[in-house]
Amino acid sequence: MSAATEDAAGPAPEDAGRVSGTRAETLRRFVQGDLASLRVVLGLAVIWAIFQLQNDRFLSAENLTNLMLQITAVGLISIGVVYVLLLGEIDLSVGAVSGLAAAVMTVLGVRHGWSPYLAIAAGVLVGTAIGLIQGAVFSRFGVPSFVVTLAGLLAWQGALLQVLGSTGSINITEPKITGLANTFYSDAVGWVVAAIVIGVYAAVALSGHRRRVAAGLAGKSLAPLAVRVALVAVVAIVTVAILNSDRGLPLALLILLAFVVGMEYVAKRTRFGRHVYAVGGNVEAARRAGIPIDRVRVAVFAIAGSMAAIGGILAASRLLAVNQNSGGSELLLLAIAGPVIAGTSLFGGRGAVWTALLGALVIGSISNGMDLLALSSAVKFMVTGGVLLIAVVIDAIARQQRQAAGRV
């Protein structure tokens, strides 16, 4: 048969089988949760399209900048939640801890005249100490984390009321504190940051590719790497362009991204991070491997408390005040729902810190869009709860698929 005849007849059976196999493998990975980030990005695109059709202000530069500011506190708290979820545990106190830490910072700075830097440090240390205490009780006495942190949820809410005193609300006027969520950089700074992000990501990706090739774990083709770098470049350039067309690149977003990158590195590139995944995947196997289970657990809850405090401080900075409702309302739900929706498993051992950012974007977009449509709080709670339930069901189905395929 001639080449022309072969072309007319279509691909050879083995080629067709290879293509079909690739598609089946991609579908399998999608169903089992290996492509959770892709699933979230597609869902986010659908959410944005729906709200844009309902209100043409949704994708405006002003609203998207507001969205970035709104997700900062939730995203920071979610980073700590991700670590706890990787252990297969839960922390119901992060909302209350965030409010208490913000109150401590504000009282020390406003009423007692502390330096804003010392006041911020004190607030973060309060969160760290709470995490250490809860982690120690959980590890030492074997009390379920659900019970320990539920008790903490009640106790730290009471502590918040005690710290605020009879006034119930304190305004924040210190520029160094309010500037955390209300500082915007010039267009030039935004483009410099975008260039740095693209360059650093490309360098890290290329270095990782070379190590995998040297270890025989990947082919020599740079095409997949080039595609990833191009996607990151597009996202960075479009994001900066949108932010620059409004108020500029916000400091709060830089803080969130810095913590996401740093804590992702800790989770994926350090011994401690590997221990967290091991404990969450199989506690008994981790114990037999000599991993200090209790110390890992206490450290993870300390991280969760610290990130909750940092998130609470950013929230207070954006709202210019703390009050009796700080850290309350739907904050706890959003902080936990975000990572789960974005692919971090409730069963432990699977997930990434990046899901804190992706999840915050999804949850924040839904909340922001419903606010633009002037929907009631009742509808907002029901929709958010429904989205969380769907995400948990998808996670459970993916886990069942992995188990059926003989994977953990």
pLDDT average, residue stretch 378-396:
80
pLDDT of residue 82: 96
Task: State the average pLDDT for the chain.
Answer: 88
pLDDT of residue 280: 94
> Buried (b) or exposed (e) across 134-151, using 16+ Cβ within 10 A?
bbbbbbeeeeebeebbee
Which residues are within 8 A (CB) of 363 and not within 5 positions of it... i.e. 6 or more apart?
A: 71, 74, 334, 337, 338, 341, 384, 387
Question: Tokens 């703390």 appear where?
Answer: 322
pLDDT average, residue stretch 283-309:
96
pLDDT average, residue stretch 85-95:
95
pLDDT average, residue stretch 348-374:
91
Within 10 Å of residue 169's Cβ, how many Cβ atoms?
12
pLDDT average, residue stretch 56-76:
95
pLDDT, tens digit (0-9, with 9 covering 90-100), for 308-340:
999 999 999 999 999 999 998 788 988 998 898
pLDDT at 139 over 80: yes
CB 378 within 8 A of CB 400: no
CB 246 within 8 A of CB 65: yes
Distance, in Å, from the CA atom of 183 to the CA atom of 255, rounded to the nearest integer, reads 11
Distance, in Å, from the CA atom of 339 to the CA atom of 205, rounded to the nearest integer, reads 24
Q: Could you tell me the CA-to-CA distances from 173 to 80, 107, 110, 182, 319 in Å, in that order?
A: 28, 12, 8, 12, 11
Give the pLDDT band of residue 382 (cuts 50, 70, 90). confident
pLDDT at 348 over 50: yes
For the chain, give every domain's residue range: 38-186+248-404, 187-247
pLDDT average, residue stretch 265-282:
95
184-185/249-250 β-pairing:
antiparallel
CB 98 within 8 A of CB 77: yes
Which residue in 386, 323, 317 sits closest to 70, CA to CA?
Answer: 317
Amino acid type, 90: I
Domain 38-186+248-404 matching CATH 3.90.920: the answer reads: no
pLDDT at 42 over 50: yes
Distance, in Å, from the CA atom of 253 to the CA atom of 176, rounded to the nearest integer, reads 16
pLDDT of residue 36: 67
High-pLDDT (> 90) share of the chain, %: 68
Q: Could you tell me the CA-to-CA distances from 92 to 72, 111, 236, 301, 334 in Å, in that order?
A: 19, 30, 34, 11, 12
Q: Whole-prediction pTM value?
A: 0.88
